[in-house]
Chain A
């Protein structure tokens, strides 16, 4: 015995991990693709494109964390990132929120392919991250 414990992952945990990583990467790619155009459309405050890039960077970092580590902390972070992104996209789709502080007005009362794709990915990410958190043993 060398004192190391062999870490195993159940198939269901693996499914959750794959789903969370896929959701976060999809979210990041969509936000990066739209960032340039949205910065020009809403340049007030820090600009909508900057917010999109911050969201994408956080999503990529957390995706790596989940992929490499797969710990409860990683799933918790993924849950927070995907849930906050989902709340933001739904809020700005249905509520005309004026600019406040560094946040520009971003009301966009339409759905289109990329936006729908990222919203669906965020929804899947929330569910999978929550399930992953519950099913993953402490490490």
Chain B
């Protein structure tokens, strides 16, 4: 075989490789979310029930360790949520839908946000690591 057809074959293989890994869902660009805290919207993705009459002063903690979220099964409407990042890299806790909470937690630090005041289940994820997901149940 001469060099030209061979180069064409390898180029074709490269194109196949490109096409093969082009359908991943983890291609979202990193966002520059605020580093401190962000208040949640009380109007987004509510599923049932009516808005709470007053914000709670409950304080809860969600821990991030080994690229996993762990925390309480549910929180009160308007609760203060502290997110502790025990990993060596930055993470975010970002509501899936617009208008929700979005905090960036620096490695080894914590950040705080206010839970939505409308009961419902609010799914969230890490903007930097697409495989990290969780849900905040407000009730």
* B28 & A37 in contact (Cβ 8 Å cutoff): yes
- Given A8-B1, A112-B130, is A40 in contact with B21 using a C-beta cutoff of 8 Å? no
* A7 & B3 in contact (Cβ 8 Å cutoff): yes
**How many residue pairs bridge A and B at CB < 8 Å?**
115
Q: Could you list which residues of chain A lie within 8 angstroms of chain B, going by C-beta atoms?
A: 6-9, 11, 14, 17-19, 21-23, 25-26, 29-30, 33-34, 36-43, 48, 63, 66-68, 70, 96, 98-99, 104-110, 112-114, 117, 121
Residues in B whose Cβ lies below 8 Å from that of A36: 29-30
In angstroms, Cα B7 to Cα A17, docked, is 9
Q: Could you list which residues of chain B lie within 8 angstroms of chain A, going by C-beta atoms?
A: 1-3, 6-7, 9-11, 13-14, 16-18, 20-22, 24, 26-32, 66-67, 87-91, 107, 127-131
In angstroms, Cα B29 to Cα A38, docked, is 10
In angstroms, Cα B90 to Cα A7, docked, is 52
Closest Cβ of chain B to A71, distance in Å, is: 11
Closest to A108 in B: B67
Q: Which of B6, B21, B28 contacts A26 (CB 8 A)?
A: B21
**Chief secondary structure at chain B's binding surface:** loop
Q: Which of B2, B7, B128 contacts A37 (CB 8 A)?
A: B128
- Given A43-B90, A117-B21, is A110 in contact with B131 using a C-beta cutoff of 8 Å? yes
Residues in B whose Cβ lies below 8 Å from that of A6: 2
Closest Cβ of chain A to B112, distance in Å, is: 20
* B6 & A39 in contact (Cβ 8 Å cutoff): no
Q: Which of B3, B13, B67 contacts A18 (CB 8 A)?
A: B13
* B129 & A37 in contact (Cβ 8 Å cutoff): yes
